[in-house]
């Protein structure tokens, strides 16, 4: 099995474990899967490059869980994942200085 295929299967297994995949008739729903997959690949890439620690990986994964539960919203801004909890909140970033971990 190719690496991408294994990663995709692992990601789908994780989404299923997080109760984020729903089936209705012959249709599968995974509402926030596209962004979450993109963010997960970004996190793994940064970890492999040595740009973030295991602790930071764990924090990012917890943030993605909150995103999946709709506790907060995430968006990309110039290659950085940003958090927006509500329209009146201050925006926070999950990146600590673009590569200095």
pLDDT of residue 86: 66
Q: What pLDDT score does 1 carry?
A: 55
| pLDDT tens, per residue, the chain with 101 residues | 567 777 777 887 888 888 777 888 888 787 888 888 889 889 989 999 999 999 999 999 999 989 988 888 999 999 888 888 665 555 555 555 444 44
Give the closest residue to 60 by CA, choosing from 1, 90, 101.
101
pLDDT reported for residue 29: 81
pLDDT of residue 88: 59
pLDDT, tens only, 49-76: 999 999 999 999 999 989 988 888 999 9
Q: Which two tokens stand for residue 64?
A: 């993605």
Contacts 24+ apart (CB under 8 A), 12-16: 15/68
Cα(8)–Cα(86) distance, integer angstroms = 31
Domain edges within the chain: 3-71
């Amino acid at each position: 099995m190719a690496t991408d295929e294994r990663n995709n299967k692992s990601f789908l297994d994780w989404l299923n474990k997080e109760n984020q995949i729903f089936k209705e008739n012959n249709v599968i729903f995974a509402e926030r899967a596209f962004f979450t997959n993109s963010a997960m690949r970004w996190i793994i890439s940064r970890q492999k490059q040595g740009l973030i620690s295991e602790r930071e990986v764990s924090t990012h994964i917890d943030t993605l869980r909150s995103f999946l539960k709709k506790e907060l919203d995430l968006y990309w801004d110039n290659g950085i994942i940003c958090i927006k909890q509500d329209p009146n909140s201050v925006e926070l970033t999950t990146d600590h200085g673009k590569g200095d971990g």
